[in-house]
């Protein structure tokens, strides 16, 4: 087994020559085997080793005997030993945590402090293949995002160095056999026999049945998890790139994307883009599990009935419009009335762009939207305002009137910006022009004789 572990270290680039290593040793067969292997490789690799034991104070005299045992074994190996006593009971009561979570938080905090104290650049733990299989199964049963790694990382950044696990390719059975073959002494933790902990139930009741089906099932789980992680990393990278391409507007509180481009995106990337958007809006620095929301959002986005809103938790909303989808944690657009006088010449800035009025002399071309009016046909002053209830327009070339609200509907203007859209009205309140959408019968062609007023509108990018 020692040779397999060394090969695993080399193949996965876990440790380097002359590393200063802190070994987490509980006294059980896993960590005592780890101590034995690293101590036997120490001279070859030039490592500087330190042992660190955590006394959780949960098993009274038994916990103290574990600590004394590890200390004595370190004396045999001539490796420096240190111990940290953690009051798990008091910590979990103060922070309202379960025993396992409280113990893990305090344990890893102690690891970081001890690494700094001894100057270690690596901490090594004895997690093995059975531990990884248990972890994967527990996460699947409990429910977790499909976009994160299910198993245990063999190497990850920790504190100012790295945390590595050289035993992940080994089984518990192989470790116990290794202890028997080389006379490695160890202690047995009585809490590992308790059904009060879900990991113990998985270990004692589920894993044995899986091993009967296939003794190498942990190898297959590890391979699947590693391959799945690489696939997810690639797909998430594609999703991030695609999301950037289809985003129309992004602020700290909202992301608006193109409906057409989203629907043209392969479904696996659609789900991941939604995941990334939610992760961004909820302000998480890690990938959270939004699987339930994604399953609700996808059919909502596929619905073609027009504008609708979906409320998620913590104030996040999803607005479906004709051409866009907007995810926002801010307030949705509310009607705020505005009415501004348009001088001649003069300019008015609106929420959606700039409106300008000039006397037209036929010499200037304009690339944006424009409307022309005979001065003699207009009732001054002119105003730029948003819509009001009952607004009507007498469309150019048509008999009769048309409600402004119906124009918005027919032109498929997103509902959240209809209340911001500027209208040109005269002194009697008659709607003369809805920029980009419809002109009234008052507007004239440039060739008409008489003094013309030109009104232009430059729509800002939404």
Q: Are residues 117 and 15 in the same domain?
A: yes
Question: Would 95 be classed as within a structural domain?
Answer: yes
Q: Are residues 204 and 252 in the same domain?
A: no
Specify if 257 maps to a domain: yes
250-273 mean pLDDT: 93
Same domain, 372 and 346: yes
Q: How far apart are CA 68 and CA 286, in angstroms?
A: 39
Residues in Cβ contact with 299 at an 8 Å cutoff, skipping those fewer than 6 apart: none
Percent of residues, the chain, with pLDDT higher than 90: 56
The CATH number of whichever domain residue 128 belongs to comes to 3.40.50.620
Q: How far apart are CA 186 and CA 126, in angstroms?
A: 13
* Residue carrying structure tokens 């240190």: 82
- Is 397 part of any domain? yes
Looking at the structure, tell me whether residues 357 and 453 fall in a common domain. Answer: yes
- List the domain range (segments joined by +) for residue 452: 339-459
Kind and range of the H or E run holding 64: helix 61-77
Q: Are strands 20-24 and 48-55 parallel, antiparallel or unpaired?
A: parallel
Of 328, 352, 383, the residue that ends a domain is 328
Asked if pLDDT for residue 137 goes beyond 70, the answer is: yes
* Confidence label for 103 from pLDDT (cuts 50, 70 and 90): confident
Examine the fold and report which residue of 215, 247, 277 is the final residue of a domain before the chain moves on. Answer: 215
**Residue 355 structure tokens:** 């409106």
CATH number, domain containing residue 440: 3.50.40.10
333 domain-assigned:
no
Q: Are residues 108 and 43 in the same domain?
A: yes
**How confident is the model over 431-442, as a mean pLDDT?**
91
Residues 251 and 354 in one domain: no
Mean pLDDT over 259-281 rounds to 95
25/97 same-domain check: yes
**Helices (H), strands (E): how many in the chain?**
15, 22
Q: Please, which pLDDT band fits residue 194 given cuts at 50, 70 and 90?
A: low
β partners of residue 327: 255, 318
pLDDT range class, residue 217, cuts 50, 70, 90: confident
Q: Check which CATH number belongs to the domain holding 250 and give it.
A: 3.30.465.60
Residue 163 lies in a domain: yes
SS3 per-residue string spanning 153-220 = CCEEEECCEEEECCCCCCCHHHHHHHHHHHCCCCCCCHHHHCCCCHHHHHHHHHHHHHHHHCCCHHHH
Q: Is residue 129 domain-shared with residue 243, that is, in the same domain?
A: no
Q: Is the same domain home to 374 and 320?
A: no
65: in domain: yes
What letter would DSSP give residue 395? B
Q: Into how many domains does the chain fold? A: 3
Of the residues 276, 301, 328, which one is the last residue of a structural domain?
328
In terms of domains, do 320 and 381 share one? no
Residue whose structure tokens are 């501004």: 340
Does the residue 223 lie in any domain? no
| Token pair listed for 322 | 């004709």
Looking at the structure, tell me whether residues 203 and 291 fall in a common domain.
Answer: no
Sign, CA torsion 95/97/103/105: negative
| Residue 405 domain-assigned (yes or no) | yes
| pLDDT score of 80 more than 60 | yes
309-360 pLDDT, tens digit each: 899 988 899 988 878 899 998 765 555 678 889 999 999 988 888 999 999 8
**Is the domain of 250 the same as that of 167?**
no
Cα separation, 181 vs 66, whole angstroms? 22
pTM of the predicted model, to two decimals? 0.64
In this structure, the number of other CB atoms found within 10 A of the CB of residue 266 comes to: 12
């Amino acid at each position: 087994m020692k040779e397999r572990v060394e090969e695993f270290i080399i193949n996965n680039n876990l440790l380097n020559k002359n590393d200063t290593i802190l070994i987490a040793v509980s006294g059980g067969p896993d960590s005592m085997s780890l101590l034995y292997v690293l101590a036997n490789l120490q001279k070859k690799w030039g490592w500087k080793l330190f042992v660190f034991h955590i006394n959780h104070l949960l098993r009274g005299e038994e916990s103290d005997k574990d600590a004394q045992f590890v200390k004595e074994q370190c004396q045999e190996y001539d490796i420096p030993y240190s111990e940290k006593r953690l009051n798990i009971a008091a910590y979990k009561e103060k922070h309202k945590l379960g025993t396992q979570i409280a113990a893990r938080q305090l344990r890893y905090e102690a690891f970081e402090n001890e690494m700094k104290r001894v100057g270690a650049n690596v901490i090594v733990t004895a997690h093995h293949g059975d531990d990884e299989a248990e972890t994967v199964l527990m996460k699947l049963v409990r429910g977790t995002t499909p976009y994160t790694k299910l198993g245990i990382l063999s190497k990850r950044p920790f504190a100012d160095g790295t945390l590595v696990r050289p035993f992940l390719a080994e089984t518990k059975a192989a470790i116990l056999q290794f202890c028997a073959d080389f006379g490695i002494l160890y202690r047995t933790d009585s809490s590992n026999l308790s059904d009060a902990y879900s990991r113990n139930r998985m270990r004692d009741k589920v894993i044995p049945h899986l091993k009967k089906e296939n003794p190498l099932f942990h190898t297959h789980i590890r391979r699947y998890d590693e391959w799945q992680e690489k696939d997810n990393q690639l797909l998430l990278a594609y999703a991030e790139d695609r999301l950037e391409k289809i985003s129309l507007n992004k602020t700290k509180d909202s992301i608006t994307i193109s409906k057409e481009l989203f629907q043209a995106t392969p479904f696996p990337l659609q789900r991941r883009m939604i995941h990334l958007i939610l992760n961004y809006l909820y302000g998480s620095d890690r990938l959270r599990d939004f699987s339930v929301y994604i399953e609700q959002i996808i059919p909502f986005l596929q619905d073609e009935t027009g504008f609708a809103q979906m409320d998620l938790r913590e104030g996040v909303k999803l607005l479906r419009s004709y051409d866009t989808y907007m995810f926002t944690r801010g307030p949705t657009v509310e009607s705020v009335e505005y009415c501004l006088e348009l001088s001649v010449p003069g300019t008015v800035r609106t929420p959606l762009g700039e409106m300008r009025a000039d006397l037209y002399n036929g010499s200037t071309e304009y690339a944006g939207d424009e409307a022309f009016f005979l001065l003699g046909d207009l009732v001054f002053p002119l105003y730029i305002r948003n819509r009001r209830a009952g607004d009507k327009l007498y469309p150019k070339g048509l008999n009769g009137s048309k409600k402004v609200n119906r124009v918005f509907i027919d032109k498929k203007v997103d509902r959240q910006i209809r209340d911001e859209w500027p209208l040109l009205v005269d002194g009697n309140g008659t709607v003369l022009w809805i920029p980009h959408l419809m002109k009234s019968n008052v507007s004239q062609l440039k060739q008409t004789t008489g003094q013309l007023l030109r009104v232009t509108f430059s729509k800002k990018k939404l």
